[in-house]
């Protein structure tokens, strides 16, 4: 199985001999720093293969896990050696041991991804020597649980599938026009009133058609704690996003004083809405309080404040927005957005955290970007040094941010939006966006061309974004995410050239693992009949 690993390890060579047969007598051992990985291995792999994997001593265990920062490995890197005597995983750190254990699992037959073994299964690890380390630090996936809520159990499963692919950042999009999805103790109406809508637009056709039934759901704070702990055990960091100052209708519905024009319904259509937050002290205090509660739940160094797609029409007509522009000496509403974002950036920095936002956070005075020229550089305060930019409208935002010395995460629509169409076939369900086949995900390069090596150091990595306007069930989520996520995982983990002809046979072998894990991926040949959605029209 060592020639079908995904993501492909950096170095791998077959060993001599028959490998290691796992039996009821197989013992496992871990040093103190690898104890968490051992617990995971015994629980998940042990129950999959139906063997007790009992603990043994350092000298008599066949599977040995340890951390050794002096072993010449890089962060998150590991060395895995299997021969007929045993299997040893040495990680640079606990994350490295975990990835080594994930590779060890992949070396077994695909049935190891089931919850229990098939009749008569035999488990033999092939003799192999692997040294591996990731290309990027940020190997992420964003899950939009605002448009269509995904319940806790699906998020936990999504984390497991990310970990299987050695991905390490789950970005949860927790608020949008169509729903507020996390309990905030101080502001209970956010979920009491903002977590559901009366109906949903179906497809993207104009004029819109609706399904005529309510949609909703939210994560209680204990659900969040559970997700964060589950993810941490699997070396996945959870980055929360509260999207401001646009995409805020659900919050404005719950607390109309947050907006510019009174109470509005929670959004039932997809798209961009005129209703945005007011830029008052009260609104800033509200969001500082929301952020503070969420910082208690999410230990991630990063907090995502959204910042995308904020129409300026309401601020043009708003006395309080215009007063703020005058008082702060701002040029226009674009600079007002920068001012608002900068306040939250300062707040997060004061709490020892780093703001991350969509590339619009550079606009206003920060970047003469897609909305035209702004105040010359140096005339106004920039974002704090730790602020990071998520480049989604192509690569320009990422390039500008990296040149300005900010860290960036690359997620341009054309290579990273997993809600986009997987083929041009009429059978493809709810076709939106541009064509993004599995090979397009695989072959695209995360680091933009033209960055100097020093600027390229600011590229923390890349992520895929799973927007869920048209993904209304976990089954549809599987269809849109897999196997494109598998291709993405190799792109951000593995170094070296990528050749789709070399990848595809490995991917076909990997699909058997996804089958065993119960993932309803899109077959490479196209959707199964029940994966089509005749009559639900997307958009070109
Ligand atoms: C986005 O896709 N609006 C970040």
Complete domains list, the chain, with CATH: 2-132 (3.30.379.10), 138-531 (3.20.20.80)
Stretch (H or E) spanning 242: strand 237-244
Name the least confident of 286-290, 370-374, 499-503: 370-374
pLDDT at position 296, please?
Answer: 98
- 298 Cβ below 6 A of ligand 1: no
Residue 342's contacts (CB-CB under 8 Å, 6 or more residues apart) are 381, 383
- 358 Cβ below 6 A of ligand 1: yes
Average pLDDT over residues 409-424: 98
- 270 Cβ below 6 A of ligand 1: no
pLDDT at position 367, please?
Answer: 52
- Measured in Å, residue 308 CA sits from the centre of ligand 1 at 6
- 308 Cβ below 6 A of ligand 1: yes
* Stronger pLDDT, 385 or 229, i.e. the higher one: 229
Instruction: Collapse the DSSP code of 50 into the 3-class scheme (helix H, G, I; strand E, B; otherwise coil) and give the result.
Output: coil
Q: Are 191 and 218 in contact (CB under 8 A)?
A: yes
- Measured in Å, residue 475 CA sits from the centre of ligand 1 at 23
Does pLDDT of 373 surpass 50? no
496/489 Cα distance (integer angstroms): 14
Q: Are 114 and 48 in contact (CB under 8 A)?
A: yes
Instruction: Collapse the DSSP code of 214 into the 3-class scheme (helix H, G, I; strand E, B; otherwise coil) and give the result.
Output: coil
Stretch (H or E) spanning 388: strand 388-391
- Measured in Å, residue 373 CA sits from the centre of ligand 1 at 22
- Measured in Å, residue 375 CA sits from the centre of ligand 1 at 25
Q: Could you give the percent of the chain with pLDDT greater than 70?
A: 97
Instruction: Collapse the DSSP code of 389 into the 3-class scheme (helix H, G, I; strand E, B; otherwise coil) and give the result.
Output: strand
Q: Are 139 and 463 in contact (CB under 8 A)?
A: yes
Q: Are 304 and 357 in contact (CB under 8 A)?
A: yes
Between the two ends of the chain, the Cα-to-Cα distance in Å is 41
Does pLDDT of 85 surpass 90? yes
- 367 Cβ below 6 A of ligand 1: no
Question: Distance between alpha carbon 242 and the CA centroid of its chain, in Å?
Answer: 15
pLDDT at position 365, please?
Answer: 59
- 193 Cβ below 6 A of ligand 1: no
- Measured in Å, residue 172 CA sits from the centre of ligand 1 at 13
Of the pLDDT bands very low, low, confident and very high (cuts 50, 70, 90), residue 364 is confident
Going by C-alpha positions, the residue among 537, 493, 533 that lies closest to residue 102 is: 493
The tens digit of pLDDT for each residue in 1-45 reads 679 999 999 999 999 999 999 999 999 999 999 999 999 999 999
The tens digit of pLDDT for each residue in 428-474 reads 999 999 999 999 999 999 999 999 999 999 999 999 999 999 999 99
- Closest residue (by CA) to atom 3 of ligand 1? 308
Does pLDDT of 222 surpass 80? yes
Give long-range contacts, CB 8 A cutoff, 24+ apart: 411-416. Answer: 411/140, 411/142, 411/462, 411/463, 411/464, 411/465, 414/440, 414/444, 415/440, 415/441, 415/444, 416/392, 416/441, 416/462, 416/463, 416/464, 416/465, 416/488
Pocket test for ligand 1, best of 309, 361, 363, 432 (most atoms within 8 A of CB): 309
Q: Are 83 and 128 in contact (CB under 8 A)?
A: no
358/311 Cα distance (integer angstroms): 15
- 309 Cβ below 6 A of ligand 1: yes
Give the tokens for residue 347.
């707040």
- Closest residue (by CA) to atom 1 of ligand 1? 308
**Mean pLDDT, the chain, whole residue set:** 96
Residue 31's contacts (CB-CB under 8 Å, 6 or more residues apart) are 65, 66, 67
Give the catalytic positions in this structure. 176, 247, 309
194/182 Cα distance (integer angstroms): 10
The tens digit of pLDDT for each residue in 121-164 reads 999 999 999 999 999 999 999 999 999 999 999 999 999 999 99
Does pLDDT of 374 surpass 80? no
Give the tokens for residue 272.
């961009």
Across 366-399, b (16+ Cβ under 10 Å) vs e yields: bbebeeeebbeeeebebbeebbbbbbbbebbbbb
| Residue 14, number of CB atoms within 10 A of its CB | 13
Average pLDDT over residues 339-359: 97
| Residue 118, number of CB atoms within 10 A of its CB | 10
Give the tokens for residue 222.
């204990």
Across 162-172, b (16+ Cβ under 10 Å) vs e yields: bbbbbbbbbbb
- Closest residue (by CA) to atom 2 of ligand 1? 392
Instruction: Collapse the DSSP code of 49 into the 3-class scheme (helix H, G, I; strand E, B; otherwise coil) and give the result.
Output: helix
pLDDT at position 368, please?
Answer: 46
The tens digit of pLDDT for each residue in 49-60 reads 999 999 999 999
- Three-state SS letters, 490-515: HHHHCCCCCCHHHHHHHHHHHHHHHH
Pocket test for ligand 1, best of 177, 271, 358, 470 (most atoms within 8 A of CB): 358
Please report the atom of ligand 1 found closest to the CA of residue 465. Answer: 2
Pocket test for ligand 1, best of 392, 409, 469 (most atoms within 8 A of CB): 392
Going by C-alpha positions, the residue among 136, 20, 6, 16 that lies closest to residue 89 is: 20
Name the least confident of 45-54, 250-259, 287-296, 379-388: 379-388
pTM over 0.95: yes
Q: Could you give the percent of the chain with pLDDT greater than 90?
A: 95
Of the pLDDT bands very low, low, confident and very high (cuts 50, 70, 90), residue 363 is confident
């Amino acid at each position: 199985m060592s020639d079908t690993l995904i993501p492909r390890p950096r170095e791998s060579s077959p060993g001599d001999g028959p490998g290691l047969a796992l039996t009821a007598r197989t013992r496992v051992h871990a040093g103190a720093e690898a104890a968490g990985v051992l617990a995971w291995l015994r629980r998940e792999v042990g129950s999959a293969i139906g063997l007790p994997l009992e603990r043994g001593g350092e000298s008599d265990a066949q599977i040995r896990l340890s951390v050794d920062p002096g072993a010449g490995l890089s962060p998150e890197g590991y060395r895995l050696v299997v021969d007929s005597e045993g299997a040893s995983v040495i990680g640079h750190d606990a994350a490295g041991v975990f990835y080594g254990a994930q590779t060890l699992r992949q070396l077994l037959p695909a049935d190891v991804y089931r919850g229990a073994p098939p009749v008569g299964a035999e488990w033999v690890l092939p003799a192999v020597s692997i040294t591996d380390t990731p290309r990027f630090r940020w190997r992420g996936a964003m899950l939009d649980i605002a448009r269509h809520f995904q319940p806790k159990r699906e998020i936990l499963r999504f984390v497991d599938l990310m970990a299987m692919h050695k991905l390490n950042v789950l970005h949860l999009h927790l608020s949008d026009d169509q729903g507020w999805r996390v309990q905030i103790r101080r502001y209970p109406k956010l979920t009491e009133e903002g977590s559901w809508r009366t109906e949903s637009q179906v497809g993207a056709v104009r004029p819109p058609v609706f399904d005529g039934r309510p949609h909703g759901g939210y994560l209680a704070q204990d659900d969040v704690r559970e997700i964060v702990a589950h993810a941490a055990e699997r070396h996945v960091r959870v980055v929360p996003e509260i999207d401001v100052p646009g995409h805020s209708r659900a919050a404005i519905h719950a607390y109309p004083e947050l907006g510019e024009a009174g109470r509005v319904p929670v959004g039932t259509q997809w798209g961009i809405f005129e209703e945005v937050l007011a830029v008052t002290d009260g609104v800033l205090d509200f969001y500082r309080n929301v952020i503070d509660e969420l910082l208690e739940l999410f230990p991630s160094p990063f907090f995502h404040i959204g910042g995308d797609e904020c129409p300026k029409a309401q601020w043009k007509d708003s006395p309080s927005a215009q007063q703020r522009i005058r008082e702060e000496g701002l040029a226009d509403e674009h600079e007002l957005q920068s001012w608002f974002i900068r306040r939250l950036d300062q707040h997060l920095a004061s709490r020892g955290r780093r703001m991350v936002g969509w590339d619009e956070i550079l606009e206003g005075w920060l970047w003469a970007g897609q909305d035209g020229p702004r105040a010359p550089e140096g005339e106004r305060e920039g974002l704090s040094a730790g602020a990071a930019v998520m480049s989604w409208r192509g690569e320009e935002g990422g390039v500008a941010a990296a040149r300005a010395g900010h860290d960036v995460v690359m997620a341009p629509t054309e290579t990273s939006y997993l809600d986009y169409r997987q083929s041009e076939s009429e059978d493809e369900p709810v076709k939106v966006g541009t064509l993004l086949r599995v090979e397009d995900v695989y072959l695209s390069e995360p680091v933009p061309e033209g960055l100097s090596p020093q600027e390229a150091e600011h590229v923390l990595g890349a992520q895929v974004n799973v927007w869920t306007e048209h993904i209304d069930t976990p089954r549809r989520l599987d269809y849109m995410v897999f196997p494109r996520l598998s291709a993405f995982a190799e792109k951000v983990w593995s170094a070296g050239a990528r050749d789709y002809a070399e990848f595809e046979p490995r991917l076909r072998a990997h699909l058997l693992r996804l089958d065993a894990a119960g993932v309803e991926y899109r077959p490479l040949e196209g959707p199964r009949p029940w994966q089509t959605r005749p009559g639900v029209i997307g958009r070109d």
